[in-house]
Each structure stands twice: as C-alpha cells, then as structure tokens.
Chain A
Amino acid sequence: MNPPSTRTDPIEYRYPGSTDTINQARVDLVGWLRANGLDALAADAELVVSELTSNAVEASPGEPYTVAASVESDAVRISVSNPSTAELPADSNWAPESVLAPQGRGLFIVKALSESVDIEQTERETIVSAKLPLPRD
C-alpha cells in the first residue's frame, strides 16, 4: 500500500438529491480511495457514505447533496452535506431503541466504523463528517 501523503487531492462531488445517485456516490468514493492506495478503507467507507448520503436524501429530497473526502494526518474524512436545516434528533448515542427496532441504525453504523463523527448545522446546510482512521502499517 502506498503511504498516504499530502499528494492526495481531496474530492468534492455534488449529486442530485434522489436515491438513484447513492450508488454513484459509493462508486466515486471507493474509486478515489483505491486510486490513492487506501483500498483497506474501501469497505468501511462505502458503508459510511451510503448511510450519510441516504440520510441526506431523506432530509432534503430533491435537493442536491455534496460528498467531500480528504486525507488528514491519520484519517480519511468523509463529509456529506445537504441543504436541510431541520432540527436534528437529540443524540441518544444514535442507537436504535431496541436491537430489533426497524429504525435508527444509520448513524449508529457510521459511528461504529468511525473514529469520530461530527454534525455541523449552519443557516444553509447540515454537514455530517466521519473520520475513518488510516490503517497502521
């Protein structure tokens, strides 16, 4: 594997806000990781971006959403933003209400795969960022 380096250019892609673009968002992110020698993160990142983009489309259907990814010193940051400014549900560890509850697993899965998850809300958009630790050599 190539060592991650500052040569890795970040990406920022914008997609139409419908579920038929989510596969493309996964394909694009995995392609970027592989092109940068980060194959080891592909499976986790694919799941993370699928959850975050699904949430984005659900929060603001029909509105474009953006996926940004960059390599930091010890992690890959994946950020998904959408133009919804609706109040976010309270953080109850983002766990489903019970193990068999139908809802509430998306962010729980993201958190399980990430070193940290940040949610930022501005007057214009909601941005959810997940940091996936780089594999140690």
Chain B
Amino acid sequence: MATIVQRMTTPQPSRLTLSSSADERAVIVVGTIDSHTAESLLDELNRLGTADDAVLDLSQVDFIDSSGLRTIVTAHQQFDAGASQLVLRDPSDAVIRLLEITGLVGHLHLA
C-alpha cells in the first residue's frame, strides 16, 4: 500500500492565454483547455458574438479534454444557430486526437 502524499501546496494551475486579432474575428488560444480554463474561453467567444463568422485558432493548444471540447461544441452550436460559422483553424495534434476519439472530426468546421 502506498503512502498517501498530500499535494496541497502550491499547485500549478492549468494555463490558458487568449488573444484576439485586429484583422479578423478570431480568438487565438494558447495553452490548456480543461475544466479550470474552459469557462474563460466560452466567455471570450460570447464576447465575440455570433453575428458573423469567427475563427478559433487552436494551433497552440497543448492539452484539451472533454471540458474544452464541451466549450467548443457549445460555441459551434451557437454560431450555427446564428447562421454563422465558428471555424476551428489549424487544430493542434492534441485537439485532432480528441476530435478523432470522440468522432467529432466531420461535425465541426475545420480549416
């Protein structure tokens, strides 16, 4: 039986950096999209609104789990309902892998 180690001190939380582009309606995502960070991504996409197409640049996502995927799917549905598209640009290997596991590759707008 292993001794239980308390991991209570100074955990390093997941990091997510979001930036926008002056030239296009885009959110550029750098870092991890998980249950700790997904809400901030959804907030940023909500700020952008669904009035017109937008780009979600996923080329610098180093980790994503189902919490992140939930945010992307929710935003995808909102854009579709608003007759616009959320385009997932240049998804990283981590993103592609999760889309493949969950069978979502053909159901989202990838570029």
A binds B: yes
> A81 vs B34: C-alpha distance in the bound complex, in angstroms?
19
Interface residues on A, range: 35 or more
Q: Does B19 contact A (CB under 8 A)?
A: no
> A96 vs B97: C-alpha distance in the bound complex, in angstroms?
18
Task: Find out whether the CB atom of A109 lies under 8 angstroms from the CB atom of B102.
Answer: yes
Q: Does A34 contact B (CB under 8 A)?
A: no
- What A residues does B70 contact at CB under 8 A? 102-103, 105
- What A residues does B4 contact at CB under 8 A? 12-14, 66
Q: Does B35 contact A (CB under 8 A)?
A: yes
Task: Find out whether the CB atom of A19 lies under 8 angstroms from the CB atom of B34.
Answer: yes
Q: Which of A13, A15, A19, A43 has the most CB of B within 10 A?
A: A19
Q: Which residues of A line the B interface, CB within 8 A?
A: 9-16, 19-28, 43, 46-47, 50-51, 54, 57-58, 66, 68, 70, 96, 99-103, 105-106, 108-109, 112-113
Task: Find out whether the CB atom of A51 lies under 8 angstroms from the CB atom of B103.
Answer: no
Interface Cβ pair total, 8 Å cutoff: 105
Task: Find out whether the CB atom of B66 lies under 8 angstroms from the CB atom of A105.
Answer: yes
Q: Which of A11, A27, A50 has the most CB of B within 10 A?
A: A50
Query: 5 interchain pairs (CB within 8 A)?
Result: A16-B11, A19-B14, A24-B12, A46-B63, A102-B77
> A13 vs B2: C-alpha distance in the bound complex, in angstroms?
9
Mark B23-51 against chain A: 1 for CB-CB distance below 8 A, else 0.
00000000010111000000000000000
